[in-house]
Chains A and B, each alone.
Chain A
Amino acid sequence: MKRIGYLFLALLGSGIIAALVLFQHYASSLFSKREHILNQLHRLQYYDNEIDYEVLKSSFYLYYNYDRLDQLSASYTKELQKMLAYQFTPKIRKALQEYEKAAMRKIVALEKFQYLNSSVKNSSTYIIKMLSSTTQLKDHAKEKLILDLAAQILLAKNALDPLLIEGIKPKLKTLQSSSDRHLRLFATHISIFVNYFPSYVQMIDKITSKSTSHLLKKIHTLLLFRFANEVQNIKSIFIAIVIFYLISLGLIAFFIIRLDRENRLLNDLRRHLDRQAITDDLTKLRNRRAFKKDRNKIKNPFFALVDINGFKHYNDFYGGAMGDHILRQSAEIIKKSVDPGYNASFYRLGADEFGILIEEKKPIDTRGFAKKIEKTFKKTPIIFKGIETTISVSIAVTRKRPLLEFADLTMKLIKTNRNISFMEYDDSLHLLDQIKSNIHKSKILLKAIEQNQITPYFQGIYDTKTNRLVKYEVLARIEHNGKIESIFSYLPIAKELGLYKEISRQIFTKSFKIAHENSIAISLNLSMQDIENKEFLELLEQLLKSYPDMKLSLEILESEMVQDYNKINDLIAKIHHFGGKVGLDDFGSGYSNFMHIFNLDIDFIKIDGSLIKELSTNKTAYLIVQKIVSIAKELGIETIAEFVSSKEIYESVKEIEIDLVQGFYLHEPEPLQDDQAADGS
């Protein structure tokens, strides 16, 4: 479509240019033609006048050269022919033809004139000359007659009036019949004069009459009129062109103005977008992108990361509108609490994270800075829909780059400790080390999983009374570079990488196999994550079906995470169906453990190691454990003590009559292969 449009424009443009060229050509040819024709008219008039002049001159002067008159006649004819060669309208052509006829008559008259002129001149000259010879006569009457006639002739010639020669002819009779030769000649000349004179005068009048001039003037007028019309056409076209030109200018101006306006709008939009790109919509602070730009421009950075404590809670509890309001207000409070002299830049870097970037010209009192922010928050409660709340913040400050990363790590550290609300990053915090170690551990874990190096280690659990081995607890170990490590430190990373289920799978699968091969009873740890994982439950069922003789115990970890008792009870029912037992791990460490006993069909509980460790040394611990065991016995729940690491503790365990016992004192975890089973230590 565009192409067609362009083509059309190109055609239009070239059409217009062609039209302009044609117009110019037409106009200039019109003017030059007019020029030529008018010149031609002038030339004709000139020759016309010249002919008249020469005719009169030749009549006046006795000695006259006819060459000039002949030339003028020839030139006049030539110019007339040239004139006739032009194109004219019928009206003008008709007038021109009329003129041609008149001109031709004039030319013909010229020839006649020359003849008459010479005759009349000669005769009149002779008449005068002959006076001298004729006045010698004695006859006075004849003398008088001769003088009278001569005088009349002379007068008539001077007057060019034919009327003055009237009555001469009869008077000649006497002279013509005279015997005197001279008189006869005299009479002959007079007779010639009298005969030719009227035609002569007529010829002069005819030639010098202004009839041709009038006709020429008429033609001139017609031509001028015609030219005026044509000029009018040209004028109209010219005006049209000028209008067209002005319109074009107008259009161009219009388009330029529009373009300019669009340009400005575009520029405004661009600026707006640019601003938007670096502005946080909600709080109107600069955003993360802006921060990334700004941080490189600062030479001595002072960066503070301000985190709203428990923001999620506000959102969940009061709704998004409240959350937004809090964020907006927090932004204002932060801005208010920073000294304007610092020329600080404020950012919203995360959902509830704000940043303050300052070019540190004068040293800033970090603690004072942070405290001021905290204080301002404390002083400024936020009110929304009748709800009043005071925000508390955590502030992480760093002067070392990378600013955001160190602030983040510092913030993480602050969050782990409830007592700290402010901290400045220091290299000695070795925060990066954590990250390094995480990366390192990730690599190891991935490799181990890939190479199936998650190995179950077995730690014996013994009957306290009989000292006999009851079952083995499976502890996950990770094997790498020939080293064996507990999986414990890897678990957060495993959860982070989504590999937890893979670890569970490997451990469970291997444990079942080894247990079957060695015909032992095993106890496996089960976390809430495992219980939530449908795939894993299917695997578990699979394994139970594959090894029907398996004597399985499951220890539920992270029992404070329990929410849905039904799910767990379903699992417990299933395990019971397969002849297994389910118990709670780390019992006594949390506050809701006792709730679990109510709600779950538990077979045993493992008393938390923190309590067992203190058993022989701490009276309170001993008392608590004693009471737990007593409750359990009442409810028919089996008890296991873990982390028994010394004889003293073992004695205490025995005292309290905990059913089963496990710990380094009795047996250290070890791998089992084939028929390798410990009989008891």
Chain B
Amino acid sequence: MHWIILILAPLLFAKEPIVPIPAKVPYDTKKAALGKALFFDPNLSRDRSVSCASCHDFKHAGADPRSVSIGVFGRKGLLNSPPVFNAVFNFRQFWNGRAKNLKEQAKGPLFSSIEMDMDEELLLQRLNENDFYKKSFSKIYKRNPNIEDLLDAIAEYEKTLVTPGAKFDRFLQGKANLTPKELAGYLLFKKLGCTTCHNGINVGGNSFQKMGLIHPYPNIIGDRYEITKDPMDKGVYKVPSLRNITLTAPYFHDGSVKTLKEAIKKMGYYNLGIKLTDDEVEKLEAFLKTLTAPAVEQ
């Protein structure tokens, strides 16, 4: 359903490559409530220490402040966790886009040995330990707790994790004005060709593009090539969303970049082949700041 809003919304702002997040996304309240409980439940990991929220930290706009996430038994991850906020607007999930939707994505960490390291039997066991789960599942899904419904509930909850109201969105809606610096930053963002990849409702997350188009990126792991085996897909990733970007450091798939300024500079170098001036970086940063929703900052 929410696709319709996404289709309609851009029509209002047809000229701009970025469109605001709608104030509300429809969802099933009961399922989302169950999904929320599951999202924050560490018992869904083998050593009962890792929940979804562990790596998708709400203090960091649903991303992980660590370069790579730590799973059960202290196992280290391979890539930087993308933010769960606004993930619903991405056309695929995971850096290499192997999950078609949120439901598919939730499976990944649950059964990944370096993340939550669950198997089906254990997971069902953990679910059935909990009376609340048993009651909720039977009430909502009319059957005993099972994987399918678990994923569905979590996905439903994640639908609610959208962050409307960013300054830039309000600007697009004509409800706010950008400072000259911010506006200049936006113009640069367009002129430099950033919008060629970072566009849409999520300012990214809607196509696969090459990281290191002009100058090759040194650390290529978990790219599209791993899925498609097409040489053209080497270094190709899902374009990450720039929403709330000020909060989701560190940056890039390997979480190697600590600051936004640095990320901006590096993007300019690897993908555009240009050295940005400090003034340009500042302007761009000012612009990117406007993509952060105030509610998330708190």
Contacts and interface: CB of A to CB of B under 8 A. Distances in A.
A65 B200 contact: yes
B15 to A, nearest CB: 8
B209 A118 contact: yes
Contacts of B274: 126, 185
Contact of A71 (B3, B209, B275): B3
A189 B275 CA distance: 14
Contacts of A75: 3
Contact of A189 (B15, B210, B214): B214
A17 to B, nearest CB: 40
Interface string B29-67: 000000000000000000000000000000000000000
Contacts of A436: none
Interface stretch (B73-81, B144-152, B188-196, B285-293): B188-196
B16 A67 contact: no
Given A64-B17, A65-B17, A70 B91 contact: yes
Given A121-B193, A122-B196, A126-B273, A67 B19 contact: yes
B76 to A, nearest CB: 30
Contacts of A125: 193
B213 interface: yes
B283 to A, nearest CB: 17
Contact of A122 (B16, B193, B200, B206): B193
B191 to A, nearest CB: 8
B207 A70 contact: yes
**Contact count band on B:** 35 or more
A192 interface: yes
Contact of B19 (A65, A115, A118): A65
A67 B201 contact: yes
A364 interface: no
B193 A66 contact: no
Contacts of B246: none
Interface in B187-228: 190, 193, 195-197, 199-202, 206-210, 213-215
A574 to B, nearest CB: 126
Contacts of A117: 196
Nearest to B207: A114
A416 B88 CA distance: 135
B236 A115 contact: yes
Contact of A119 (B89, B200, B202, B210): B210
A74 interface: yes
B200 A67 contact: yes
B6 interface: yes
Contact of B214 (A70, A112, A118, A188): A188
A593 to B, nearest CB: 133
A545 interface: no
B214 A192 contact: yes
Given A112-B232, A188-B273, A118 B7 contact: no
Interface in B166-203: 190, 193, 195-197, 199-202
Interface of B: 3, 6-7, 10, 15-19, 89, 91, 190, 193, 195-197, 199-202, 206-210, 213-215, 232, 236, 271-275
Given A71-B3, A192-B213, 17 more contacts: A62-B196, A63-B16, A64-B195, A67-B91, A67-B199, A69-B206, A115-B207, A115-B208, A115-B232, A117-B196, A118-B197, A122-B272, A125-B193, A126-B273, A126-B274, A188-B214, A188-B273
List 10 A-B pairs, minimum CB-CB distance, nearest first.
A114-B207, A70-B91, A67-B200, A122-B193, A66-B206, A63-B17, A118-B196, A66-B207, A65-B200, A185-B273
Interface of A: 62-71, 74-75, 111-112, 114-115, 117-119, 121-122, 125-126, 181, 185, 188-189, 192, 199
11 contacts: A63-B190, A64-B17, A64-B196, A66-B200, A67-B201, A67-B202, A115-B236, A118-B209, A122-B272, A188-B215, A189-B214
